[in-house]
Every structure is written in C-alpha cells, then in structure tokens.
Amino acid sequence: MDVTDVMASSNFIVFEVDNSIVDNVYPQHADFTFYGGLYRDVNLISVPDAHFDLEYYGGPGIMVTPKPTECGGATFEIEAFVKNADENFTVQYTILDEEGLEVAYASRPASAPKTTIFLPDAQLWDFENPYLYTVEVNRVEHKETLDNISTRFGCRTYVIDPEKGFILNGESYPLRGVSRHQDIMYIGNALDADDHYADVKRIIAACGGKARKITVIMPFLYEGRQHKRTTRESLDCAIALQELINMGVDNIITFDAHDPGVEHALHKTEFDNFFATNVILEDFINNLPEETVAEKEAKTSVREKLKVAVPEREHPPGSSPRGSHYNRCPCRSA
C-alpha cells in the first residue's frame, strides 16, 4: 500500500481490520473456525523517488524466466521494474553460479530494462542436484549504485499432467504432502512465529526418517527479517532454517521472503523464494472441478464466489500488489 500522498511531517498511522463476511474471498466454509484480526507484521518502508517497484506482482521488483534449450544451454529472460526512472539511470544484471562466480552480465537503460541472456552449458535444477543461480540487479546513476535487489532461481522445466502426475525435466515424480491448520487451542488463528515453527517441527519429527525427501513449504518465513529482531521470536531466521536442515529437511520453499539474503545461511541446501501468490490462486480457481447441474441451478458454485483481485493498473489478469517489501540495500529503511 503506497501511503506517500497522505504522509506529512508528523504522522500517526492506524491499521484497522474487521471480520466482515466477504462473499468472494476463499474459503467460504470449512470444518474449522474462522477468526478475524491482524496477526502479521506491518512495516513502513522508505525508498527514493526512483526505485525498484515494491508493488509489482507482489514480488521484489524483478522477474526471471529461465528456459532450457535443446543444446544444453538456457536463456534467461530478466526484467526489473523501476518506478520513476529517467535517462540518467541504468539497470545492471549479474548472474552468479552456485559458487558465487559471475557467469553472465547485461546492462540496460532503466526506461527499457528487459533483457535476455544466453548461458551455454546451464546446470539444470532437479531433486538430486538442486542447482541455483543468483541474479543481482543494481540501479546505477553516474557509476553509483542507488538501489539493489537479488533473487535465486533454478533452471528447469515442469509439467503437471492429470495422468502422469508431476514431470520435472522430462521425468515423472510422485508427490505426496501433508498440511496443517493454523490454530491452537485458546489462541485461535493468531499464532506467533514460535507457534508456527513448533508445529513445523512436530510434523517433521512425526515423519521419523520414513520420508525419502522432505520439503517444507513456509508461506510466511519464520522471522524472515533476521537482522530486524522483535520481542516475539526465540530464534532468528538463519538459526531456525539450519535447525530444520539438521532435522532432515532437504528443501525449503517460501513466498516473498522479506530478506532474500537469509538463503545464504543454508549454503548449498535448496531454498526457493517465490513471488507468485496471485498465480497460485488463479490456477486453483481455474482448475476447480466442473459445476454440477444442481450447483448451476442453485447458483451455489464455488467458482462463482471466487476471484483474484486485479488492481487498477497495467497488471496482467490475476495479479495484485503486495503490501510491503523489505530489501537489504542501505538506501532503504524500515
């Protein structure tokens, strides 16, 4: 949420929420109690007038699309989204391999930052060798870096087939998962970071070494701002992630880690940071089971009650801006 226009020299900011029923927000009904309230962190972010867009697609302001080629290489389509750019700025892209060595570089004007980079002999990401590249993006003016963002990504192809299941790089893999409810007796949904983390460890411990590979999906990364401590958590993010790895976790997936640099605490362990909440929801809605005749006649179809909000700006269908983002660049403050 951009509050620039309503800010003054002195401000008192209040966030107000309620538990009103909204007909087009999932879920509509379930076998557990729904609660209201604000139980996630709210941060005030200050950035220069020209900056990587904090509201684009709910991500950090960069999009990377790796496409493996038949010759064994890969093309990387990369685009950074800059607000209030002018002819004085350039956007510089640097791709690093898993060892931190530069393997490709490109520079574009900030007014047209999209670029495509070809890398011969690209390493594919798979379950046995989760190889990750890093792209670092700098916004530069007169040889001075004024803003920077980065993200890690794997080079891979995947298909979800209703008959063959999940296909990664042309090979089929069986997938099985477990889920959990976000509630605790006498607390409801307002779990703090320690409650979530304890639940994750209970599930991992219950596996008892029976799983061939354990992937933990943490939509809200435990204390993702490891350099910005509050009074609620017992561990910082880096130590928590290392503890999960020591329990036998092979892969950690999160969405919108506010400090992507926490990935360095895991060294070569696979850590995926996705910014695709809106894409997941849209795909879920589009692939709901076909309506029954009774549902159509009664107009009780779940599909009719669900939608993905589209902001009033030039976003593709299904996209929605995120509330806030924190980047480790010194020019940003939170």
Residue 82: beta bridge partners?
52
**Where exactly are the structural domains of the chain?**
4-156+278-305, 176-275
pLDDT at 185: 74
Pairing of strands 158-161, 251-255: unpaired
What is the rounded average pLDDT for all residues in the chain? 75
Average pLDDT over residues 189-203: 80
- Domain pair 4-156+278-305 / 176-275, same fold: no
**Residue 164's pLDDT is what?**
85
Backbone phi and psi for residue 17, each to the nearest 5 degrees, phi listed first: -130, 160
Of 21 and 205, the structure prediction assigns the larger pLDDT to: 205
pLDDT bracket for residue 330 (50, 70, 90): very low
Residue with tokens 């997936």: 253
> Which residues are within 8 A (CB) of 118 and not within 5 positions of it... i.e. 6 or more apart?
73, 74, 75, 76
CB neighbourhood size of 2 (10 A) = 11
Q: What is the pTM of this model?
A: 0.58
Give the pLDDT score at 83. 87
> Which tops the pLDDT comparison, 156 or 258?
156
Instruction: Tell me which residue has tokens 């007038």.
Output: 49
> H or E segment at 152?
strand 144-153
**C-beta pairs of 279-287 under 8 Å, 24+ apart in sequence:** 279/318, 281/26, 281/308, 281/318, 282/308, 282/317, 282/318
Interval 223-250 mean pLDDT = 70
**Which whole number is the average pLDDT over 299-320?**
46
d(CA 240, CA 236): 6
The C-alpha atoms of residue 239 and residue 223 are separated, in whole angstroms, by 10
Give the model's pLDDT for residue 199: 83
The CATH number of 4-156+278-305 is 2.60.40.10
Give, in order, the Cα–Cα distances in Å from 266 to each of 123, 239, 243, 254: 19, 10, 10, 14
**Contact between 54 and 325 (Cβ < 8 Å):** yes
| CATH code, residues 176-275 | 3.40.50.2020
